[in-house]
Structure formats: C-alpha cells, structure tokens
Structure 1
Amino acid sequence: MQILLLALCISSTLADCPAAWKTFLNSQMEENTANGCEADWKFVNRPSGGWCMKIFPSDVASFEDAEKACKAVDATLSGLQDKKEAFFIQTSILAQVPESSGSLWTGLRRTKKCIGQKITATCTNLTSFEWTDGSSTGTDGFVFQAGQPDNKK
C-alpha cells in the first residue's frame, strides 16, 4: 500500500463533528482500515491504485514547505482525483474550522508553459494546472472559486 498525503494545515476530529458527519466519517474509517490504511488515514481508490491520505495540521507557508512536511512522513502532497474526494476533504475540514479561516495545501501547480500567462486558448482554467503527486489524473478534482483561476500570477 502506498501512502499519499492529501493536504496540510488542518486536522479534523470526530468529537467536533455534527452527528451526520460522524456517521459518514466512521463508515469511512471502517473501510479505511480494511484496505490497509491506519485508522486516521482515508483510503481512496484511484485509476492509479489504492492510496491512503491524511490531513495534517501545520503552519507551513509555501508549497515547497508543505511537500517537505509530507516527505517527512514518507508521503507526498496530494491532488484531488474527483469531486467525491474534494467533498470528503471539505466536510472533514469544515467540521472543525470556519469556512473563512485556514488554508489547505494540495499538489496542484501551474504548468510551466502557463506561468505568467493570462487565460488563452492553450492556457485555460483546465489546462493551466497539473497535479504533482503522480496519482491524481484529469481535472474532475479541480475546485476553484468563481472567476478563478484568472492566471494573474
């Protein structure tokens, strides 16, 4: 079983979750341990195979520091394969942290050809970025705020 770290900065506990989320998260934990993940890691099945992911609390300020923190636990900063993974992460985080606070590092980076480029025919909102973890594929996991990305940087 390979280990994949999803994100840094926020950790959720079941004690603070609403009842409906506790039921969902408990069912996920039972599935996780049956698939070889430790109890506090989430099992995800991707086209590239089964992975274990976990949200770690941290105060890292850059993508590079987040990746280093992942490597310290023999993992890598993860992408989001699809909306289901994004929903799980969102509900896990919002169970403890208000929507207007905190941040989350994922393995999404602007492609080299689109660095410094505005939105163009070759640098669209779906082609300007790529997953860095080697296991996330496609664009179903891209989650942007309205009007983003605008390719300003």
Structure 2
Amino acid sequence: MLNALEVLTTVVVGVMVGVEFSVAFVINPILDKLPDDSYLSGRAHGGRMLGAVMPVWYIGSLVLAAVWAVAGWNDGGAGLVVTAAGLLVVSVVMSILLLVPINNRTKNWTPETRPADWKEQMNRWDRFHYVRVAVIIAAFALLVAARS
C-alpha cells in the first residue's frame, strides 16, 4: 500500500511540476510574443482556468506527501519526504501570499480595463512563478530520491 502511495504522490507532483514548468517556459513565452490584446486575453484565460485547478492540485500534492511521510516514517527516505512536504508548504504559502493576489487581479482584465502597470504586474507574477517552479522541482526531486 505504501508503494502505491509513493507512486501516486510522485506522479501527481511530477505532473504538477510539468504543468507549471510549461507555463513558465513554454506557454507564457509564446503569449509574450503576441500583440498586447491577445497576450492579455491569453494570460487572463490561463489565470482563470489554472486558477481554478491549481489550488486543489497544490493542496492535494501536499496532503499526499504528508500522508506518505507519516505512513513511511520508519523508512529510510522519510527525511526526504518530510523535506519535500516542507517545500510544498513553501509553494502553497508563496502562492497564497504572492501569486494568487496578482492572478486574481489579472484574470479579469480586458484590453479596456487593464491598469497602466499591467505589464509590470505580469512580470512580477512571472518572477514569483519562476521561484515557485524551482521550489516544486526540488520537492519533486526529493520525492523521486526517497523512492530509490
């Protein structure tokens, strides 16, 4: 049973990492090359769509890692799993404090309603997101290492 939990947790976190990595290094750079109105519409739509899914995914990943840490407490990789769970906590806190407030503003912008500093706000979100991606990649790597 523990083995199945380890695999499920690793896959769920790994797919989350893939999605967030692609947002940072594939989707947003593509959108950045579009004209401002199309760029803004694409980012707003992505903010609405992923903003609805990612909270469940982040919290679910954290819960799975925490359950793994408790269930596998006597295993050799427990310290790695606990550290990974800690990093997932950091990613959730970062999301709530730094990224979600920006996303909540930007997801409803239109070319007519965007503020004068809209590009700066998008760039700030991107910078925070790069850090969050690094944090969840580290958590994923620790989970993979804990399975070895």
TM-score bin, normalised by smaller chain: under 0.3
Q: Which has the larger radius of gyration?
A: 2
Question: Which of the two has greater strand per residue?
Answer: 1
| Larger RCO, structures 1/2 (Cα 8 Å, 6+ apart) | 2
Question: Which of the two has greater helix per residue?
Answer: 2
